[in-house]
Amino acid sequence: MKALLLNKNALIFLFFCIAATIFWFVVVLDKVYETRVSIPISYRNVPVDIQILNDMPTHVDVKIRDKGVSLLVYKQTRFFDSLVFDFSRYTFVQNSMNVSTSSVFEKHIVDKISSTSVIQEYYPQTMDFRRIKLSKKRVPVKLLDNISYQTQYNLADDIVISPPEVTIYGAKEMLDTILFVYTEELKEDNLKDSLTVPVFLKAIPHTHIYPAKVSVFLPVEMFTESSLLVPVTVLNLPNNLTVRTIPSEVEVRFQVGKSKYNQLKASNFLLTVDYATIVKSTSRQQLITLEKFPAYVHNVKTNIMEVDCLIEIKE
């Protein structure tokens, strides 16, 4: 019985302690205080043809006066959205820009806080920016790719990059060393269908690139085996001579996309031997060279590597 009474007294004591703590907490939160709240800044429409020389503020600290309960809410991490500084709304004067922090952000902050809250001060009080104008240059884009295709599939034509050129901004001395820009690596496995994909460009330190990404079109289709008989052409031949090759035509084997299958002719290929090499050689057999073939055919090879060459005088 005595133990039960002690437990009851302990519970009563605990209740009054909790009640007193809550009352104290309510009284404290009902008092007026000042506190500083840190709000992140994001930047929009920064001109690509300038470089900001000073460090741009990442946060604005705002001193606010109100009851503790309101300030406690403001201290929550996600209460305030990022403040947006839009460069397109302001003008540089002699490469400098100074804007009052309150004129930029106060309306946004006031709309968010309670009507009883009073903004006391901003840190920093002004947003200061110093710039230099950058030179610009147009450069081509090169694709960095790692692409594989399913069996019997390949590129039907050239890869198309759009736009094929971009504008790069930076110091003139830096731009003089840049001849092109690479994309980030485009990795695709086992392609069997045409594909259009956006690809970001590799950043180059101390420069701005516009646009920052390009569109890449990969024209993919099924390929089939084919072959053509192509005549052998003799290069650098004197006017008074003729060279007869045996055979006079060589079979060229290749893979071609179905859309181009009926377009191919022997004239799309060029097989050659060089007269200058023939006259220096002690052998009648000469290596043939595949000088030309369409970019859209793959795995091009000839059925033989050499031809016999007979030099004859024209009558």
pLDDT value at position 27?
A: 46
In this structure, the answer to whether residues 205 and 145 fall within a common structural domain is: yes
Instruction: Supply the range of the domain harboring residue 59.
Output: 31-133
* Residue 12: pLDDT band with limits 50, 70, 90: low
Residues 98-141 pLDDT 10s: 999 999 998 888 888 877 877 889 999 999 999 999 999 999 99
Distance CA 28, CA 67 (A): 9
Tell me the one-letter amino acid at 258. K
Contact 256, 224 (CB under 8 A): yes
Question: On the CB side of 288, how many CA atoms lie within 13 Å of its CA?
Answer: 28
Judged against a pLDDT cut of 50, whether residue 220 lies above it is answered with: yes
CATH number of the domain encompassing residue 213: 2.170.120.40
Contact 185, 130 (CB under 8 A): no
In this structure, the answer to whether residues 265 and 304 fall within a common structural domain is: yes
pLDDT value at position 239?
A: 86
Distance CA 26, CA 68 (A): 9
Domain tally, the chain? 4
Q: The pTM is what?
A: 0.64
Give the Cα-Cα-Cα angle 100, 105, 106 (nearest 5 degrees).
95
Distance CA 182, CA 199 (A): 10
Q: Which of 262, 48, 236, 238 is nearest to 136 (CA)?
A: 48
Pairing state of beta strands 213-218 and 160-162?
Answer: antiparallel
3-state secondary structure of 162: strand
Contact 275, 234 (CB under 8 A): yes
Tell me what the mean pLDDT of segment 26-50 comes to. 77
In this structure, the answer to whether residues 94 and 43 fall within a common structural domain is: yes
In this structure, the answer to whether residues 42 and 121 fall within a common structural domain is: yes
DSSP state of 91: -
pLDDT value at position 137?
A: 94
Last residue of a domain, one of 105, 133, 161: 133
Q: What percent of the chain has pLDDT over 90?
A: 55
In this structure, the answer to whether residues 126 and 54 fall within a common structural domain is: yes
Contact 132, 96 (CB under 8 A): no
Q: Which residues contact 224 (CB under 8 A, 6 or more apart)?
A: 152, 255, 256, 257, 258, 261
pLDDT value at position 293?
A: 94
